[in-house]
A and B are shown apart, each in its own frame.
Chain A
Amino acid sequence: KAGVTQTPRYLIKTRGQQVTLSCSPISGHRSVSWYQQTPGQGLQFLFEYFSETQRNKGNFPGRFSGRQFSNSRSEMNVSTLELGDSALYLCASSLELGKGNEAFFGQGTRLTVV
């Protein structure tokens, strides 16, 4: 069974630009959640989608958005990039988060904003 695939692995963007990250979950998993990892703030929850519906959102500005498609693939978008958005963005796939099911993670996308 293929794991969680995140693309691209690395990105370098300039302040003010926007970026789209992609996540393909494990086949059969309908829940996709996103997390930002930085040395200073640790792991922070961005949002969670289940069957194309956003069920929960973390405490991030509106520049961070996401969506999920009918095949459960998910994208997240960050507009008007700031230097502080430099981080490792991790996507997690689960049968259904919050029901005792574990989440499986991709390798992450390393975003550097210059």
Chain B
Amino acid sequence: GNSVTQMEGPVTLSEEAFLTINCTYTATGYPSLFWYVQYPGEGLQLLLKATKADDKGSNKGFEATYRKETTSFHLEKGSVQVSDSAVYFCALSANSNYQLIWGAGTKLIIKP
């Protein structure tokens, strides 16, 4: 079946460091891929998405590229800020499956 695997957290970085959060998936066909972010006490916010191979999603300095050959969708940011501290979820949506399938989430802690 379809699944998403994310790197375990928490990830602790200093401000202005480079961020990578790994995400790999298993799915038949060509799913759409998403990164969501959850701040404490809040719901999930869409960070970025990609709907086909080699697409790059980007938002707020974050980027992720849909790699079909490695079934990956790693999240990157060149210089993190304290305000980026949150939990990040990788998710996929497969055609005609009518649900989002989630990774376990990665807690990101940015220290000033």
Contact = CB atoms under 8 A, between A and B. Distances in A.
A and B: bona fide binding partners: yes
Contacts of A50: 98
A56 B98 contact: yes
A97 B101 contact: no
Contacts of B97: 56, 98
A106 B101 CA distance: 18
Interface string B74-112: 000000000000000100011111111110110000000
A105 B42 CA distance: 10
Contact of B93 (A4, A98, A108): A98
B61 interface: no
B32 A45 contact: no
Interface residues of A, number: 28
B91 to A, nearest CB: 8
Contacts of B43: 4, 6, 90, 105-108
A16 interface: no
A43 B45 CA distance: 14
A104 B100 contact: no
Interface residues of B, number: 23
Interface string A24-63: 0000000101010000001111001010000110100000
Contacts of B93: 97-98, 100-101, 103
A103 B32 contact: no
A1 interface: no
A105 B45 contact: yes
Contacts of B42: 107-108
Interface of B: 32, 34, 36, 42-46, 49, 51, 89, 93-102, 104-105
